[in-house]
């Protein structure tokens, strides 16, 4: 059942002419791309790897804001993870 969503999305794209598809080099991103029907044309791009969220990984924004009022991901980065400067 978990694989049905990307496949369903791929069905929605089947009538489009796709020129280029890029995916993160992470295995789960490449697999999702494959399930959506783009595996044969997809190119891995290391710049698409997600941020290192450090101590806030899997934490809801509301929880983060309770501990760090006014926190903004793109301004403040991730405690114990990467800063916006590092991402750029």
Does position 13 have pLDDT exceeding 80, yes or no? no
Residue for token pair 């309770």: 66
pLDDT, tens only, 27-83: 988 888 888 888 888 999 988 888 888 988 899 999 999 988 999 988 999 888 988
Three-class DSSP category at 54:
helix
Domain locations in the chain as residue ranges:
4-48, 54-87
pTM exceeds 0.75, yes or no: no
Q: Give, as one character, the DSSP assignment of residue 51.
A: P
In degrees rounded to 5, what are phi and psi of residue 62? -60, -35
Identify whether the C-beta of residue 77 lies closer than 8 Å to the C-beta of residue 84: yes
């Amino acid at each position: 059942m978990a694989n049905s969503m990307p496949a369903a999305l791929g069905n929605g794209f089947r009538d489009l002419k796709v020129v280029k598809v890029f995916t993160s080099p992470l295995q789960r991103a490449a697999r999702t791309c494959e399930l959506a029907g783009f595996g044969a044309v997809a190119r891995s791009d290391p710049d698409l790897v997600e941020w290192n969220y450090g101590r806030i990984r899997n934490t809801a924004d509301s929880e983060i804001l309770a501990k760090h009022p006014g926190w903004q991901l793109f301004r403040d980065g991730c405690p114990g993870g990467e800063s916006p400067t590092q991402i750029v």
